[in-house]
Each structure stands twice: as structure tokens, then as C-alpha cells.
Amino acid sequence: MLNRSDQPRILEPEQLAVQRPERIKLPNGVPLSVLNAGDNEVTRIDLLMAGGRWQQKQPLQALFTNRMLREGTRRYDAARIAEKLDYYGAWLELSSASEYAYVTLYSLNKYLPQTLDILESIVKEPVFPEKELGVIVDNNIQQFLVNSSKVDFLAHRGLVKALYGGQHPGGRLVQEEDYRRITPAVLREFYDRYYHSNNCSIYLSGKVTDDCIRRIESLFGCEAFGTDFRKPEKTEFHPVTTSGKRIFIERPDALQSAVRMGMLSLDRNHPDYLKARVLVTLFGGYFGSRLMSNIREDKGYTYGISAAIMPYPGQGVLAVSAEAANEFVEPLIGEVYHEIDRLQNELASDGELSMVKNYMLGDMCRSYESAFSLADAWIFVQVSGLQDTYFAEALDAVKEVTPQEIRELAGRHLCKEKLKEIVCGKKMS
């Protein structure tokens, strides 16, 4: 008779079958990566431009340059762009990060000629109209003011400022007046410097047809486009970490406090990084983690608490994040240190480590099962400066890490003395 108290054995994947892109160099030198996968007649086009917050001359320059691409071109105004995208069932995403800007278009294959026409126009001939810019800046200021009243927003700002310092792009905090310094000329300067064919790479994913590749080559791969063909400069920034341990940000009207504890940590190229991911997941990276089990489930100090390594160029940030009632802030912080002590002094059980590994392996498998998630994965490899062997190495690291290594990694990379404590909320009397 079947014993339903016995859990089925979870089989570990022997290898991670991550489809490699077909890589093509277009006639004008633009690298094209093609991930032909999926059954739906949809193609995603990603254009990456090297240049982001780390390269901008003033705050918000990179963000608004990217955001304004859809607000008007020499051929189409903002309303026409939105109308055409809606009519053809397309979706446009614009985003800017530390060192890259992204233009992403999802299009039905049967309407590719029409949607690519719009994509070409917004990439090659934006006009940064002053009226539309004013509206968007005003909306962003209002959102900034709303966020500035939230304890989690303020605590995060306090943490990165404390770790990086105000002169480092990771710690230079945006202020309201920075929005008012954004003009069409400021955006044009950034656009001219970084949006060009010598600074561009393209990814195609989904059900990619030969016709789509030909059209991409015709629009973006035959002739050089842009005005400045220099590569971005690689500037090294050095963090200037504050000396204090605890920073309190008062919000008298706060219903609860936000807690952020963090320190400068590993970047993705560090030899310990892949196995340290297992450590951080065990510590606070999923619902069954030690921080969640202790501080949420057992103590009831918070509804949720997490730990993660936030990737920044150079040194990333290991951060613990939680919100709690004021009276629980101190005991919550104390339990975080208690869990660090346990990781540094005790061996994790084989059963606990096996559960963490199964969670991470399952998450990895889910992350590479669709065409668009594959594109995300390979874009991540490119912008992080990693090798094509990253996925196999990540799989091996998760499968092979031992309880002894977890303890050693905790000793090297979970330093209680370096953890900054940022508390934002109502001052306790």
C-alpha cells in the first residue's frame, strides 16, 4: 500500500540544456543574436545600447533619454506611435540600467513590417519634444514625492548612500531639483553619445523567421546609424562608505518601520559568487529561508523578510530587507545577527541544504524554458561580462556546494561588523 507520508524523491537535473543563440555579425558591425524557439507567431526584438547611469553626466539623463524615445520622432508623434502599436497588437518596453539602455518590442510576425517601421523611427530619429517632456517630468516629480513619504523607499536610499557615498553613481541620490534640470538638449547630448550602431547589439527571440532577420539587417545592420561612434568609457568609481553603524531616518507619521541591513559584497565575476548564491538563498532568499522561518514564522516580527545580492557594476550589495512595527525593530535586527552566527558556527543539515538546492534548481529550469526567458538569460550574460559557460557553472555550483563550504562562505562574506543598519520610521520614545 502507498505510504503517503513519504515524499517523492526529487530528481536533480544532470545538465542544464540552455539553448545557445545563433550569433551573426551584421554588415555594419552590429552583433545579432538569434534564439529561434517557441510555437507562437510572436517575435521579440531587443536593442541594447551600452550606456546608463554610470555614464551619464547628470542624474536622470540616461533614464529620460530612454523613456522619451516613444514620445515623438521625425515621422510620428507620441499619439501616433501609441495608436499604431495598439492597432498591430505590439508591445514596447523601454528601460535603463547601470550601464545599458534597452529597447524591447514584442510583435506578431504578420505585422513585423509595420511594427519594425515604428521601432526604427524611435531608435534612429527621436526628437525629444519639449511639451511631452514637461508632462512626463511633472508626473515623475509627483511620483517621486509620493515615494519620498514611503519608509521602504527612504531606507533603500539611505543604505546605498551609506555604502557608496554621494559621489559614486550607486549612491548619488536623485533629488526633486534633478528632474527640473532635464531638458531636450540634455537628452539629445546623451542620445548622440550612446545611441549608435557601434554601441548597439540586437537579440531576436521567439518564432524568428528568415524574413524577420532580413528586415532587421535592412533596418539596423546595413549602414551605420548615429552621430558619435565611440565606445563608452570605462570609469572606475570607488565607494566611500560611512563610518557609522546605525542610521535612523525619522518619519513621524509612519505606521511601521523599514529596516535595511547591508554591506558591499561580491560581483558576479568573483570566484565565490555562484556558491555564495546558495548561502544567501538559504539565509533569506526564498520563503523557506532561515530569516523567514525564524523572524516571520516563529517570532512574528514581520510579514516578510529577505536577503539578496543586488548587482551593481564593481561591488554589489548584500542587503536584508524587512518592514516591522516599531517595537519589533531591535529584536528583528538581533535575530538577523543570530542567524549569521549560526551560519558561521554550525553546519547546515543535509536535508535543509537539499531543500535549498531543489528550490534553486527548479527556479533555474523555469528561467530557461521559454524563448523570451532565454533571451533574458543571454542578455544577462552579456551585460554582466560573463562567459557562455555561466549556466553550466551555476548548475554545478548549486549541486556541488557542501555544508562545510556554506559555513566557510558565511565566515568570509557575512561580516556582522560591516553591516550597516538603516531604520526608517517613527522614533520610539
The domains of the chain, with CATH numbers, are 22-221 (3.30.830.10), 246-425 (3.30.830.10)
Give burial (CB, 10 Å; 0-12/13-18/19+) of 303.
exposed
| Distance of alpha carbon 101 from alpha carbon 47, whole angstroms | 8
Query: What pLDDT score does 168 carry?
Result: 94
HSE-CB for 78 with a 13 A CA cutoff: 14
Q: So what's the pLDDT on residue 315?
A: 86
The per-residue pLDDT for 235 is: 82
Q: What is the spatial distance between Cα 308 and Cα 318, in angstroms, rounded to a whole number?
A: 6
The three-state secondary structure class of 61 is helix
What pLDDT is stored for residue 3 in this prediction? 61
Separation CA 179–CA 141 (nearest Å): 7
Looking at residue 244, the DSSP 8-state letter turns out to be -
Cell of 84: 499604431
Residue 306 CB neighbour total at 10 angstroms: 17
State the pTM of this model.
Answer: 0.92
Q: What is the DSSP letter of 21?
A: P
Pairing mode, strands 100-108 and 91-96: antiparallel
Cβ atoms 280, 339 nearer than 8 A: no
5: Cβ–Cβ under 8 A, 6 or more apart, which residues? Answer: none
pLDDT along the chain (429 residues), means of 10: 54 69 97 94 97 96 98 97 98 96 98 97 98 97 96 97 95 97 98 97 97 97 94 88 94 94 93 96 96 97 96 91 96 98 97 96 88 94 93 96 98 96 88
